[in-house]
Structure formats: structure tokens, C-alpha cells
Amino acid sequence: MDVLNEVTEQCRKALGKNLVSVVLFGSTARGLQDSRSDIDVLIVVEEEVDNNFFKDIWIDLLMNYGVKLDTIVMAKKDVVDNFNYFSPLFLSFALGITILFDEGFFEKEYFKFLGRLKEENIKYVEGGKVWDLQKISSEILQ
């Protein structure tokens, strides 16, 4: 079993019905990882749990696979807020993610978010590795 399958399986075992989604993001999701890269994972839950909830699991995965996991655990309501307010982290998701597990929630919200980016003409400026934030800034200031 590879590390991503193991991460997903450990989340399912630990969280049961509280698990909503497991999403790979960052350089690994975009195929840009190097030998120093960690694996960035967003874990979406129905009800909040402490990030330390997974500490022993991640240590085991580090020992077994030699990779460091950087995880964010977030409740569904916070995911919706981050998509709605164009959080910097969630803007980076537009550059590429891999949904490892989902009951339909994350995929639906993600595609709504991508639609809003297109509708509002919010673009990533590749050379500068920055977002054209004019539209985002005007929404925040309203």
C-alpha cells in the first residue's frame, strides 16, 4: 500500500463517519515535489477534532514511508468559508489537488469555487507566482 492510500485508510479508521474528505494539495498534488517535499493533506470532518489527534499515526507513517505529512484538519463549515473568502490556502487549490476520499462535499464546493474564479476573472500570474488580487481586494473592502 502506498503512502497516500495509507493516509486515507488511517483517516477512515480513526474518524469513521466524522470523516468527510481527504485532499492532497501542494507540490505533490501538482507533480512538482522534490526530495525535500512533504505531503500536504487537508482532512475535512463533520465535527472538529484536534490536529494532535493524528500525531501518532503521522509518526508511524514517517517511520514506515520516510515522508513527512503536513496536515490541516478542518470542519465542513470552515471549508465553505475558506472557499467563499478566497483564502490564500484555498486559492492554491486551484493550481491542483487530488481528492483521495470524498463523500461528494469537497468536490462540489471545489468546482463551485473554480467557477467563481473564472466568473470573477481571478487569475494566477505564473511568472510572478502571485494571484491577481484586484477582484478579491474589492470584495474584502465592501
- pLDDT tens for 29-45 read 888 877 777 889 999 99
Q: Going by DSSP bridges, is the β-strand pair 39-45/69-75 parallel, antiparallel, or unpaired?
A: parallel
Position 110 scores a pLDDT of 96
Position 35 scores a pLDDT of 75
Kindly tell me the burial class for residue 30, based on how many C-beta atoms sit within 10 Å of its own C-beta (0-12, 13-18, 19 or more): middle
Is the C-alpha dihedral spanning 25, 28, 32, 37 positive or negative? positive
The pTM is what? 0.84
Position 107 scores a pLDDT of 97
Task: List the chain domain ranges.
Answer: 3-141
Position 141 scores a pLDDT of 47
Strand partners, 131: 124
- Cα 116 from chain centroid (whole Å): 18
Position 38 scores a pLDDT of 83
- Give every residue of the chain whose pLDDT is below 70, as ranges: 1, 51, 125-142
Q: Which CATH superfamily is domain 3-141 in?
A: Beta Polymerase, domain 2 (3.30.460.10)
- pLDDT tens for 13-23 read 989 999 999 99
What's the alpha-carbon Rg for the chain, to the nearest Å? 16
